Structure 1
Amino acid sequence: MFKGSNYKKATIFIATVSLLTLTIAFGVQRRCAAQSAGNDYESIELFTDVLSIVKKSYVEDVDTKKLVYGAINGMLSSLDPHSSFMPPETYKEMKIDTKGAFGGLGIEITVKDGILTVISPIEDTPAFKAGIKAGDQILKIDEKFTKDLTITDAVKRMRGIKGTKVTLTIMREGFEKTKDFILERDIIQVKSVKSKVLDDGYGYIRISQFQEKTDDDLEKALKSLQATAPLKGLVLDLRNDPGGLLDQAVRVCEHFIDEGKLIVYTEGREKDSKMRFTARKGGKEGSYPIVVLINSGSASASEIVAGCLQDHKRAVVMGTQSFGKGSVQTIIPLSDNSGLRLTTARYYTPSGRSIQAKGITPDIVAEKVEIAATTEKKNDGMHIREKDLENHFENDKKEAVDDKKVKPAPYKTDESIKGDSQVLRALDLLKGWDILKAMGKA
């Protein structure tokens, strides 16, 4: 221990060293910030130099806005598969899409290995009726090769006036050569919720997409199913549902989750991107059992619903691994009526799972999870997931799924039964649960 003047000298020395250390740290911090800002300015200067050279020396006159739009497209495409720039016309169409009506073919697309690829066709649309399948590679649109097309440009080419035709040149696993599909555009009235009674007391609800009115339509469907008798069980079909609006996914969950329980939360760099969504007050459904159906075409908002109900043990999830899109995109309007779709956060299920590039693992794995629209057997090997997309985010959680260890549950379907064998299997599960409950074993 120090005493007297020696103690004072030691104190002064320590304080001086501490101040010196703080000064050095502050100086390093300022120097790093200055270097970062300097690098940014150099990059911006490089961009303006190239823009000036192109404007001055390119073989033909070029429109400055076209160059800037192209540069923005390139910048965003280098980030991740879901960030994109929307010119005014595309931004306007996007806002129409969320309302559930637009002119086109009814097809969800992405880019895999540089090739325009189908995520899933939307039910009861020209693409669905023509036999377009998940995993199909679109090599040409009306003789125009798609290799150098952005998703935005591809969507623009497939959209159009009702009654006009467009030819898609498709390559599919099992095809010896490409095949042309001639489709007639229609007004795509996407009805996001459909329902029917499967058996006495057992209902079926399919959500094909999460739009502005999905929650309202779900509420009507539930009331319709329970008009004659209380539900004893429900099949919630989210197969080939590409997602949509986050708030609608939250509201769908609220029907089945107790007030105050966590539905989903998001984490990002900015304060506004850190959000928690919990179930609010309101009409809640009874405690009847639920089976949720998913497949590799189930993405984003549909994964939020499946993950929430699974985490709270409110439903049994059946099917195959889902798409694995665990990121949140924010739509930002720009000054010239264009828009920016920017990935701003990751979302997590109530238990803290990130499904990014991994997906939701079903409780009961089953191979036959496709909606019965054709008798042709579909090859699941063509299905794409988030992890297959270029520049996708890696999952920031360490746990991983070993697909080889996941084995389909044994099940035999009577080949004479026409319809959807997966729904029939879900119905059997619900009835079995009801029987066990009556026996006091569930």
Structure 2
Amino acid sequence: MKQKWLAVYMAGSLLAGSGMTYMGITIFEKKQEKHATDHTMETNSLYKLDKAYQLILQNYVENVDKQKLEDGAIRGMLATLEDPYSVYMDQEAAKQFEQALDSSFEGIGAEISIEDDKMIIVSPIKGSPAEKAGIKPQDQIISVDGETVEGKDLNDVIGKIKGEKGTKVELEIKRTTVDKPLKVKIVRDEVPQITVYSDIKKDGGEKIGYIEITSFSKDTAIEFEKALSSLEKKGIAGLILDVRGNPGGLLTSVNAIVEQFLTDSKPYVQIENRNGDREQFYSDLSKEKEYPVVVLIDNGSASASEILAAALKEGADYPLIGENSFGKGTVQQPILMDDGSEIKLTVSKWLTPDGNWIHKQGIKPTIEVKQSDLYHTHPLQIVANLKMEDNDEQVKYAQEILTSLGFTTDRQDGYYSPQTEIAVRAFQEKNTLEVTGIIDKKTAAKMEESVRQEKLKDENDIQLQTAIRYIVH
């Protein structure tokens, strides 16, 4: 136990003090020789921890699992930092963390963090089961399969949410735009980590390149370079970079992408350690792209996505279109322990080219554009059929969906009015369903699927359309 604590302490002190990764016992011993007083204090502290460990292990009224005691001690130390991004992962959690950066993994496909002791969805991954089920950025998870998450460790909660393909998990979530919590059932599936999607958008005869980056994993920079090269060979008049809903990822990955757009006139990101020392990163480019570039962001754009957005905004004056970003301005480094467990520790802040720290504030878009009501609907939970004279929140959600799809209702307050029934009948007729005017599970499922399909159409994406018009006009 004492050795494991020593390893944790050494890794933490070296990372926090100098920004280096764990370099071994030699550096620590040299530091001890130079600072004898510090060594005495550190030894006393470790003795106190070891004494508490032995006391509990030998005298507690019941037998104690050594592994759980050690894991709990490490989690306790990290908890005192009050930093949701500094976490301890046991062997299984560490393995899952590494898999999340690989080509694919099984689960629901959502980035989760802790804010003010609340489990918050940073963003669902594009095309993931979570996104298809209606999970949105900033949703607060209240329970998993009926078990509250209050007071639980983040990795324990993530472990309960993850699972094999084909299995189901029910999340109870709280959403700021909804009065009552929502229960969302999600079928776990394989979540592919194809992180770059490219396309050509046409407007007025002009070809506009479009690249969506869903996260920054190990192969993202390579995927991006291939996509950009292919688009440029087609003679694009401009480029749209879409990092909406992108929860972030590897710093090395986003750096490699940013360096393709900015010159060496100013740093594209600055990494600051706790002593205030800054390391500045520059591109080697001598000139910027000959075509205009626009970046799409929203409140699901976090961490590495914000590095890209801030770099292009402050480094080259490229416009950001959309909504305020998430606001994560710290850098974490995973430190592998001898037993296969891992500590992900916040080791530094990252600052924008102009030296701004966006943590908990996010980045404001150059042009603020909010999406239509189509993008703000809520999932339906049909326990019993919804029909005339019903009055509850589920009817309200159904009315919002119908209206967003173009089926006029006279109200959106949750009262199932005659006009609502007419709208339901019209929807059922258009979608070759049995025309009853009653919303059963089949009709509800078709309504939600219709919303998903409409959101995939470029003409309904107001933020994208604004970016296209900016480039063309």
Match of 1:254 in 2: 259
User: C-alpha separation between the residues in 2 aligned to 1:115 and 1:40?
Assistant: 34
User: C-alpha separation between the residues in 1 aligned to 2:317 and 2:223?
Assistant: 21
Match of 1:335 in 2: 338
Contact 1:121 1:128 in 2 (8 A): yes
Contact 1:327 1:343 in 2 (8 A): yes
Q: Which whole-Å deviations, capped at 9, do the CAs of 1:255-310 have from their partners, x for residues lacking one?
A: 21235753212121489x8533222369x873211111112221111111111111
User: C-alpha separation between the residues in 1 aligned to 2:137 and 2:207?
Assistant: 33
Contact 1:290 1:314 in 2 (8 A): no
Say whether residues 1:215 and 2:221 are aligned partners: yes
Contact 1:259 1:281 in 2 (8 A): yes
Q: Which whole-Å deviations, capped at 9, do the CAs of 1:45-75 have from their partners, x for residues lacking one?
A: 4333332232223332111121111111121
Aligned-residue offset at 1:44? 3.2
Match of 2:324 in 1: 321
1:245 to 242, 250, 263: 250
Secondary structure of 2:325's partner? coil
Match of 2:72 in 1: 70
Q: Cα gap change, 1:296/1:213 in structure 2, threshold over 3 Å: closer, same or farther?
A: same
User: C-alpha separation between the residues in 1 aligned to 2:197 and 2:56?
Assistant: 53
Q: Select between 175-184 and 291-300 the one with higher mean Cα deviation.
A: 175-184
Match of 2:114 in 1: 111
Secondary structure of 2:345's partner? strand
Q: Cα gap change, 1:295/1:158 in structure 2, threshold over 3 Å: closer, same or farther?
A: same
Aligned-residue offset at 1:34? 7.3
- Give the partner amino acid of 1:74: G
Q: Cα gap change, 1:88/1:274 in structure 2, threshold over 3 Å: closer, same or farther?
A: farther
Contact 1:256 1:314 in 2 (8 A): no
Say whether residues 1:430 and 2:434 are aligned partners: no
- Give the partner amino acid of 2:243: L
- Give the partner amino acid of 2:460: G
Match of 1:376 in 2: 377
User: C-alpha separation between the residues in 1 aligned to 2:105 and 2:458?
Assistant: 36
Q: If the length of structure 1 is used for normalisation, what is the TM-score?
A: 0.74
User: C-alpha separation between the residues in 1 aligned to 2:458 and 2:332?
Assistant: 42
Compare relative contact order (CA 8 Å, sep 6+) and give the higher one, 1 or 2. Answer: 1
Match of 1:165 in 2: 168
Contact 1:159 1:185 in 2 (8 A): yes
User: C-alpha separation between the residues in 1 aligned to 2:347 and 2:179?
Assistant: 42
Contact 1:110 1:116 in 2 (8 A): yes
Q: Cα gap change, 1:346/1:143 in structure 2, threshold over 3 Å: closer, same or farther?
A: same
Q: Cα gap change, 1:285/1:95 in structure 2, threshold over 3 Å: closer, same or farther?
A: farther
User: C-alpha separation between the residues in 1 aligned to 2:250 and 2:344?
Assistant: 13
Secondary structure of 1:44's partner? helix
Say whether residues 1:195 and 2:201 are aligned partners: no
Contact 1:103 1:185 in 2 (8 A): yes
Match of 1:205 in 2: 211
What is the 5 A alignment of 1:384-399?
none
Q: If the length of structure 2 is used for normalisation, what is the TM-score?
A: 0.70
Contact 2:104 2:193 in 1 (8 A): yes
User: C-alpha separation between the residues in 2 aligned to 1:219 and 1:373?
Assistant: 33
User: C-alpha separation between the residues in 2 aligned to 1:264 and 1:319?
Assistant: 22
Q: Cα gap change, 1:332/1:194 in structure 2, threshold over 3 Å: closer, same or farther?
A: same
Contact 1:317 1:364 in 2 (8 A): yes
1:304 to 304, 307, 331: 307
- Give the partner amino acid of 1:266: I
Q: Which whole-Å deviations, capped at 9, do the CAs of 1:317-360 have from their partners, x for residues lacking one?
A: 12222222111111111111111111111112222222223322
Secondary structure of 2:114's partner? strand
Provide the identity percentage.
Answer: 36
What is the 5 A alignment of 1:91-170?
91-170=94-173
Q: Cα gap change, 1:330/1:274 in structure 2, threshold over 3 Å: closer, same or farther?
A: farther
Q: Which whole-Å deviations, capped at 9, do the CAs of 1:148-176 have from their partners, x for residues lacking one?
A: 22111111111111111111122223444
Contact 2:369 2:462 in 1 (8 A): no
User: C-alpha separation between the residues in 2 aligned to 1:302 and 1:430?
Assistant: 21
- Give the partner amino acid of 1:160: G
Structure 1 unpaired stretches of 5+: 1-32, 379-415, 433-442
Contact 2:216 2:250 in 1 (8 A): yes
Aligned-residue offset at 1:42? 4.6
Q: Cα gap change, 1:42/1:171 in structure 2, threshold over 3 Å: closer, same or farther?
A: same
Contact 1:233 1:289 in 2 (8 A): yes
Q: Cα gap change, 1:38/1:317 in structure 2, threshold over 3 Å: closer, same or farther?
A: same
Aligned-residue offset at 1:181? 1.5
User: C-alpha separation between the residues in 1 aligned to 2:352 and 2:180?
Assistant: 43
Secondary structure of 1:201's partner? strand
User: C-alpha separation between the residues in 1 aligned to 2:458 and 2:300?
Assistant: 25
Contact 2:212 2:241 in 1 (8 A): yes
Alignment root-mean-square deviation, CA: 2.8
- Give the partner amino acid of 2:253: Q
Number of aligned residues: 359
- Give the partner amino acid of 1:376: T
User: C-alpha separation between the residues in 2 aligned to 1:225 and 1:72?
Assistant: 49
Aligned-residue offset at 1:129? 0.2
Larger Rg computed on CA atoms = 1
- Give the partner amino acid of 2:468: L
Secondary structure of 1:367's partner? coil
- Give the partner amino acid of 1:254: E
User: C-alpha separation between the residues in 1 aligned to 2:458 and 2:49?
Assistant: 63
Contact 1:257 1:314 in 2 (8 A): no
Q: Cα gap change, 1:280/1:99 in structure 2, threshold over 3 Å: closer, same or farther?
A: farther
User: C-alpha separation between the residues in 1 aligned to 2:258 and 2:319?
Assistant: 14
